[in-house]
Amino acid sequence: MPLRAIFVALGSSVEWDAGTRTITGKRNNKTIILQIDNPTGRVNDSVVILDVPPAVIDGRTMVLTRFIAESLVAVVR
């Protein structure tokens, strides 16, 4: 799913650093840092291994919805 859509739907801010291809999303006391094509991300001070790394497809950054939602303490059904 497109990354920006997930963050916005969950009431989070999202920033893009084109130089490092890094995405930073913040909501309350949670910060998620992801890098395009990197299977390792961060949630606050914890390193996490992603099932699928973020990727740019047709000009949009795609990520796994469940990882973002659960990291921001949202309920996923």
What are the Cα distances from residue 17, in Å, to 14, 25, 33, 74? 10, 12, 11, 25
Domains of the chain and any CATH numbers: 3-71 (3.30.457.10)
Is 56 in a helix, a strand, or coil?
A: strand
Assess whether pLDDT exceeds 80 at residue 37.
yes
Assess whether pLDDT exceeds 70 at residue 23.
yes
Residue type, 35: Q
Query: pTM of the full predicted structure?
Result: 0.82
The residue that leads in pLDDT, 1 or 23, is: 23
> What is the pLDDT averaged over residues 26-52?
92
Selection from 30, 26, 27, 32 nearest residue 48 by Cα: 32
Q: What pLDDT is attached to residue 69?
A: 76
Assess whether pLDDT exceeds 80 at residue 61.
yes
